[in-house]
Structure 1
Amino acid sequence: MVDATSAVIGAGIVTFLPGITKARKESVKLALAMAERAAESVRKEGLLDDWFTYYRNQLRFMGWDSVSAEQVHWPDEGRARQVDQVLGTIAATAGEHFAEASSRSMGSLPGSAAALLALEQHAYERQHFQLLPCAPAGAGRVDMVLYHEADTQSAFRAGFISRKRSHRNVRAELVRFNIQAFEHSYLPKVQERVVQLCRARVLDYDS
């Protein structure tokens, strides 16, 4: 996992497992930032009831397709006793390699003060937190676990990553992104100013 890299986008941590080229990582981060920007714009206008669903639909429009899905709401007591519910959910959804990558990203995040502060501020404001580990899927595609955790603002105060949370409202699914389709059909239609604004939302850090 030495070659894994990470970035903070909004209230989410995206992690890239080895095998994804730099150019494709940039395309994935740009797509995630575009979806995040669109969802936030609607939320700030007071027109959004379900942030996650809107965000997920934006990704689908750009070329993300559901591979399989797992939704977890109010986990049972057995799940609540797991040492790490977040990584347990990710591993159950897509495999241990996705969970390992996310674990490394969360562990190294405190080493980047700017990225950590941005993540904590956005998670507190929006009352949600996301983990987005990505792995190569071949043929110009990437698989990603879309893990979304919602809670009260108090649950996402500074230092929330290292504390035990309730995990009261968790959704996770495995999706596949057709990068080539995004680059050749969707991206050319986007204004360069919008692209630059979205790229500015990405905070890379060493994982």
Structure 2
Amino acid sequence: MSEHNAAVIGAGVVSFLPGLSLAQKDKVKLALALAERATQGAFEEGLVQDWFAYYRNQLKFMGWDAVTAEQIHWPDDSRAEQVDKVLSLIAKTAGGHFADAVQLSLAKLLGNPKPLASLEHHAQARQHFQLLPCAPAGEHRVDMVLYHEIDTRDVWSAGFLTRQRTLKNVRAELVRFNLLAFEHSHLPKVQQRVVEVSLKRILDYDL
């Protein structure tokens, strides 16, 4: 597997900016897969109605937290004019470099049938779609834009990535992940069987 890679987890695309080691990427992907598995299970059992809010709380429990406004590096105003609506929102949330990583990941995803089919299947079944670009944020920390888009099931049919969408119900925020907190506090409490099942939800592809 190339060091320059992205992954599909459920209805989300995880992409990485330069500067993260393979070990750091693996921890991020495992944490996202664990959160995705727990959230989808609770949602299917009717225990939660707001998928995003529950998923966000799962991440927070594992060591993710919101980044304060003072820590966010805002892009210049011209950036929003150079990208489409989705990438523009990501750029406004965290900077153009995050949007660039997403753009590359989505372009490569279109040439990878297995992860693309999995993403389209889960997006249509769940009626949502996520983009999760990650960047290094100092030692043992990772910044991630959590982009979540909801729409009706017919919107998420095959090929939705290349079509214009209404973007009526979209949320995006910048969160920070403490890798050490996850590795030393949360991960030891997770049963190996749960980890193994969660890892199977990750479909990596090279950039």
State TM-score, norm by structure 2: 0.91
Q: What's the Cα RMSD here?
A: 1.5
Q: Secondary structure at the match of 1:60?
A: helix
- Once the two structures are superposed, residues 61-99 of structure 1 have per-residue CA deviations (whole angstroms, 9 ceiling, x without a partner) of 000010047xxxxxxxxxxx9861100000000000000
Would the aligned equivalents of 2:9 and 2:33 in 1 still touch at CA under 8 Å?
Answer: yes
Within 5 A, what are the aligned runs for 1:45-124?
Answer: 45-68=45-68, 84-124=84-124
In structure 2, C-alpha distance between the alignment counterparts of 1:138 and 1:20, rounded to whole Å:
10
- Once the two structures are superposed, residues 167-191 of structure 1 have per-residue CA deviations (whole angstroms, 9 ceiling, x without a partner) of 0100000000000110011101111
Aligned residue in 2 for 1:200: 200
Are 1:17 and 2:8 an aligned pair? no
In structure 2, C-alpha distance between the alignment counterparts of 1:49 and 1:82, rounded to whole Å:
36
In structure 1, C-alpha distance between the alignment counterparts of 2:10 and 2:67, rounded to whole Å:
24
- Once the two structures are superposed, residues 131-160 of structure 1 have per-residue CA deviations (whole angstroms, 9 ceiling, x without a partner) of 000000112000000000000001111100
Q: Secondary structure at the match of 2:6?
A: strand
Aligned residue in 2 for 1:77: none
Would the aligned equivalents of 1:3 and 1:18 in 2 still touch at CA under 8 Å?
Answer: no
Are 1:156 and 2:156 an aligned pair? yes
Would the aligned equivalents of 1:7 and 1:14 in 2 still touch at CA under 8 Å?
Answer: yes
In structure 2, C-alpha distance between the alignment counterparts of 1:13 and 1:83, rounded to whole Å:
18
Would the aligned equivalents of 2:3 and 2:22 in 1 still touch at CA under 8 Å?
Answer: no
The amino acid across from 1:188 in the alignment is P
1:64 to 1:154, Cα distance in 2 relative to 1, 3 A: same
Unaligned runs of 5+ in 2: 70-80
State TM-score, norm by structure 1: 0.91
Identical columns (%): 62
Unaligned runs of 5+ in 1: 70-80
Aligned residue in 2 for 1:31: 31
- Off by >2 Å, runs of 4+ in structure 1: none
In structure 2, C-alpha distance between the alignment counterparts of 1:144 and 1:154, rounded to whole Å:
29
1:52 to 1:63, Cα distance in 2 relative to 1, 3 A: same
Would the aligned equivalents of 1:4 and 1:15 in 2 still touch at CA under 8 Å?
Answer: no
